[in-house]
């Protein structure tokens, strides 16, 4: 997913090309430099060369800069589970969805690395990230139930899938070996199969 270029046409008849992306990059820089808790919206807007008013047209608060992508990630995962071939087993449907997400995230690695460092440094953000992952797991379980997967199998497959994604994502973000996220997702899934087989 490349940072969306949004040409925002404001009430003052000025163009602000990619103001959303500029605000996001400015925020990540400042969170990294001085910490999330010590950064203000005024500082983010100033660093981006924009006004606070423009910030609040794009983000509801400084935390949303880090979490706005969760909704589209969830939508993508749910759609990919739904679109998996009818013959796919539950874990195959989830694996296909995770690989689709991996492909989408691949060219945002530097952004993901910066974001992860900010989140790791702040307890409130770590909690928010856990809640995001749990919400994704619940959405995937729902998509599996819509495919007719019964009872606890839907929850177990979804939770296992999120565990695979989490481990692969950490290896990808922290790794220096240039592995592709999709590849790491496949490897982590293989590893999960091995560990659960005992």
What residues line the site for a second copy (CB under 8 A)?
A: 89-92, 127, 130-131, 134, 152-153, 155-157, 159-160, 162-164, 166-167, 171, 188, 191-198
What's the token pair of residue 50? 């924009």
Name the minimum Å distance from CB 102 to a second copy: 15
Do 59 and 72 form a contact (C-beta atoms < 8 A)? no
Residue 52 Cβ, how far from a second copy at the closest point, in Å? 29
Residue 166: name the closest of 102, 115, 86 by CA: 102
Instruction: Identify which of residues 86 and 195 has a Cβ nearer to a second copy in the complex.
Output: 195
CB of 70 to a second copy, least distance (A): 15
User: Which lies closer to a second copy via its Cβ, residue 50 or residue 91?
Assistant: 91
Q: Which is nearer to a second copy, 61 or 127 (CB)?
A: 127
Least distance from a second copy to the Cβ atom of residue 189, Å: 8
* Longest alpha-carbon distance in the chain: 64
* Alpha carbons 130 and 113: distance in angstroms, whole number: 17
| 48: CB partners within 8 A, 6+ apart | 19, 22, 23, 25, 26, 55
* Main-chain phi, psi angles of 150, to 5 degrees: -95, 150
Compute the distance between CA of residue 41 and CA of residue 53 in angstroms, rounded to an integer: 10
Closest to a second copy by CB, 86 or 197: 197
Q: Give me the count of residues in the chain.
A: 198
Which residue number, 41 or 163, has a Cβ lying nearer to a second copy?
163
The token pair at 198 is 């005992």
Question: Closest approach of Cβ 60 to a second copy, in Å?
Answer: 17
């Amino acid at each position: 997913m490349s940072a969306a270029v949004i040409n925002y046409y404001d009430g003052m008849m000025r163009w602000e090309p990619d103001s959303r992306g500029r605000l996001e990059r400015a925020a990540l820089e400042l969170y990294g430099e001085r910490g999330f808790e010590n950064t203000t919206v005024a500082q983010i807007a100033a660093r981006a060369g924009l006004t606070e008013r423009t910030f609040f047209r794009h983000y509801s608060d400084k935390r949303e800069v880090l979490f706005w992508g969760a909704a589209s990630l969830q939508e993508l995962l749910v759609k990919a589970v739904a679109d998996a071939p009818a013959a796919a087993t539950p874990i195959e449907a989830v694996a296909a969805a995770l690989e689709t997400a991996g492909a989408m995230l691949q060219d945002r690695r530097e952004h993901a690395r910066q974001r992860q460092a900010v989140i790791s440094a702040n307890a409130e953000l770590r909690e928010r990230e856990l809640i995001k992952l749990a919400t994704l797991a619940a959405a995937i379980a729902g998509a599996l139930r819509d495919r007719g997967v019964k009872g606890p199998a839907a929850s177990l497959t979804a939770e296992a899938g999120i565990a695979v994604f989490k481990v692969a994502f950490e290896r990808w973000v922290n790794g220096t070996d240039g592995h592709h996220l999709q590849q790491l997702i496949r490897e982590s899934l293989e590893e999960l199969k091995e560990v659960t087989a005992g």
